Amino acid sequence: MARKRPKGVLSMGWAVIEAAAAGRTEHVPTSDDYPDTVVRRMHFHAGAGLGWKISALTTPRTKTAPWKIVVVTGAPSWAEYWAPALAALPQDREMIVVDRPGYAGSEPVEYVGDIRIQARALAPLLEARFGQRVLLVGQSYGAAIASLMAAENPRKVAGLVLLSGYFGESGPTARWLLDVGSRLLKFIPRDLRHAVMEVTNQPTQLDGMHAALARLRVPVHVVHGDKDDFAPIEIAERLVSQTRTRRPMRFARVPGATHFMNEGPTETLLQHIEACIPQPVVLKLPKLPGLPKLPSFGWFKPRPERQRQTAAPA
């Protein structure tokens, strides 16, 4: 059974300090919990000729899964906090969760504050096998980066999910952390320092994110917990109502969920991600008298819940 990993912003921050003191790149190595046939550490070269080696966790599959779910994590960016979700993923789905540049085992060790550069560096994540489609998930700070990735690679992304997206305005927990972190910037470990710098400097870069969302032709899903005190749900609702897009965004309110939906329950997280994947539909043509049976044709149609959800929390 997988051990319980630290939950919440404060416990995650303490885990970063412990990992830095021990010289580890992971808070709790996933190899201690899962065999590499279930969750595997891998590396790839950053895009745009940047020369960096990027670290990620992935789900090995013997057969090509029809959907590849790419997760761009928040700040601090630690893929191993998604390990339980990776392990619970069904065999007909593939997932890869990245440690963004400047975090954990990814290069460079320096701060990379420009979300456009990060989007270009992570573009190789969108490569898929023949017949495979990509659902791109941007978590928290990663939501803005994922939006740029989708806009810059329109033929490689079939859908975009903004999960607990952070869009420049902080809730009470985030404000307190940013205040404390900015005062201790010279003393806290690298990953915490980079997280404080990223979140502090993000608002000036959001015009690019809004422009990217306006260009997208693929479905965009905004999934947000109504107990999020890091990135308030009202900010996500405003994004949906004020951003002009080619097709309406789908908004899903998750009752009782906090900012870190990947902390569990894992089943709830995977259900909301799965709801963003369109269902296959097969068109069966009628058999005409005297003619051989005609082939069926398949395509994807949106799920019924793809319309904007505005139901009050349970």
102-130: pLDDT as tens digits:
999 999 999 999 999 999 999 999 999 99
Q: What is the mean pLDDT of residues 16-41?
A: 83
Sketch out the chain's domains with CATH numbers: 8-306 (3.40.50.1820)
Q: What is the mean pLDDT of the chain?
A: 88
pLDDT one-digit tens code per residue, 201-247: 999 999 999 999 999 999 999 999 999 999 999 999 999 999 988 88
Least confident of 19-23, 220-224, 262-266: 19-23
Alpha helices in 138-293 (DSSP H): 142-152, 172-183, 190-201, 206-215, 233-242, 266-274
pLDDT bracket for residue 264 (50, 70, 90) = confident
Strands 250-254 and 220-225: parallel
> What does the alpha-carbon distance between residue 224 and residue 261 come to, in Å, rounded to a whole number?
9
Query: CB–CB of 30/57 below 8 Å?
Result: yes
Rounded average pLDDT over 52-68: 97
User: Which amino acid belongs to residue 96?
Assistant: I
Token pair recorded at residue 55: 């670290």
* Contact (CB, 8 A) for 224 and 255: no
Question: Alpha carbon 113 to chain centroid distance?
Answer: 18
Confidence label for 288 from pLDDT (cuts 50, 70 and 90) = low
Cα distance between residue 190 and residue 19, in whole Å: 11
Q: What is the pLDDT of residue 306?
A: 41
Q: Is the dihedral of CA 214, 219, 220, 226 positive or negative?
A: positive
